[in-house]
Amino acid sequence: MKMRKKRPIFKFKPFSKKQRKVLNWWMDNSPVKDYDGIIADGAIRSGKTVAMSLAFVFWAMASYNGQNFIMAGKTISSFQRNVLTNLKVMLRSRGYRCVHHLSGETPNMLEVTRNGITNYFHIFGGKDEGSQELVQGITAAGAFFDEVALMPESFVNQATGRCSIDGSKFWFNCNPAGPMHWFKIGWIDKAIGFIGRRRARELQEKGQEIKRLLYLHFEMDDNLSLSEEIKKRYRSMYTGVFFLRYIKGLWAVAEGLIYTMFTEANIYNDETRPKGLEYLSVRTIALDYGTTNPCVYLDIYDDGDVIWVDREYRWDSHVEKTQKTDSQYADDMEDFMGSNPDLMADIIADPSAASFITELRGRGYVVKPADNDVDDGIRAVSSMFYRDKIRVHERCTGLITELRSYVWDDKAKEHGEEKPVKQLDHGPDALRYYVYTKIPEWRRGK
């Protein structure tokens, strides 16, 4: 008789003191039970998301029956991956019945039932300004935002505005961004839990807006499931502004040179190039497309540990005084890739280059539009440079020059935005497309 395999048992780690605050702040014996919500920010892997998502459902099920709630991530898929998968396991282990509706009249909705009480948790993605239209029309008793700093203000305002049921509360969870970020200025800096009761009274007397929100700052030590070895590994993954944000959990400013961690140690030559690299690695061409701007191809090899940027192609119409057509660029791609069938490569392309992608596919190339997440892409490339997981051949002079000149936009910072200056960015863009699209999260330091 064939024995059935036992299903793996989800083992819960003890909750830390700060996680218990998240779980208990709304209860009857809490001195802040009447607050309108909670903000939890801080370091990565600090236990914020587990405690916040579980507490949100506990509060909802203890406070309401038959109500709708909003749960949001940057995208629905990221929310399902980062929050929902573990949340369903935790709830079911505690006797809750969870039905995840993926389609039908109420798609992307989690129906939760326990002891005769049922509530409905609608899942949304808040990735851009248009996302606010998704939550229009719903009347909710509360909202939970995972990684709220990655969402546009319009979406959050629309979602919180839908919470019109008496006693409704807001739950915000995020890693820090820049100090001029709209969420830092508009929510954290106005939260009683952040500025203190005395200061809040002073500001209210001056007619300034105060938000009745609890504020908790998390560090990796607040997650008891992390070993010292794992915490040490995470601390080694980041440098500069990303260390301050992801490890220290600070709302730090991004200024000056972006890739400060790119040094001579990341540059190799023919003597230090691994022998047979092209035959022992996976080859990919990454491209940033331009007509009036430079068009760049990067010839990249991945040996499973280190990314080797071995050659580059660059056509700058300003310098050459001639613009090329998609057909001419495709001819150049054929020459750049070569005719050796053993060295054919997939192409990771600038997602805005629709016509050029069509031209390449028409010639039989396998082309994937890149994931153009600028912030996370820069963080991933920075982490890999810092850990010496990207090497650039000295002959890639254009890319090297641009990596040493790639800077944050000071003018954008004045408006609470954070983005690179759109100059000398074509090689760095192509490299970012490759890293963020092709390299799995565990390798790029997620």
Domain locations in the chain as residue ranges: 17-226, 264-438
Q: What is the pLDDT of residues 249-293, one digit of tens each?
A: 999 887 888 998 898 999 999 999 999 999 989 999 999 998 888
Q: Within a 10 A sphere around the Cβ of 22, how many other Cβ atoms?
A: 28
Find out if CATH 3.30.420.280 is the number for domain 264-438: yes
Q: Within a 10 A sphere around the Cβ of 256, how many other Cβ atoms?
A: 11
pLDDT tops 70 at residue 433: yes
Residue 417 confidence class, pLDDT cut points 50, 70, 90: confident
pLDDT tops 60 at residue 11: no
Rounded distance between C-alpha atoms, residue 149 and residue 180, angstroms: 11
Structure token digits, residue 260? 């400060």
Q: What is the pLDDT of residues 294-337, one digit of tens each?
A: 999 999 999 999 999 999 999 998 888 889 999 999 999 999 99
Please report the beta strands in 318-439, taking only residues with DSSP state E, as ranges in sequence order: 346-349, 367-369, 390-393
Q: Which CATH class is domain 17-226?
A: alpha beta
The residue with greater pLDDT, 10 or 101, is: 101
Residue 12 confidence class, pLDDT cut points 50, 70, 90: low
Q: Who contacts 196 (Cβ-Cβ below 8 Å, separation ≥6)?
A: none
Per DSSP, the three-state class of 297 is strand
pTM for this structure? Answer: 0.74
Residues 234, 42: contact at Cβ < 8 Å? no
Q: Which amino acid is at 225?
A: S
At 112 the pLDDT is: 98
Rounded distance between C-alpha atoms, residue 372 and residue 163, angstroms: 32
Rounded distance between C-alpha atoms, residue 365 and residue 297, angstroms: 14
At 2 the pLDDT is: 45
C-alpha pair distances (Å), 298 with each of 40, 89, 108, 399, 400: 41, 43, 39, 9, 12
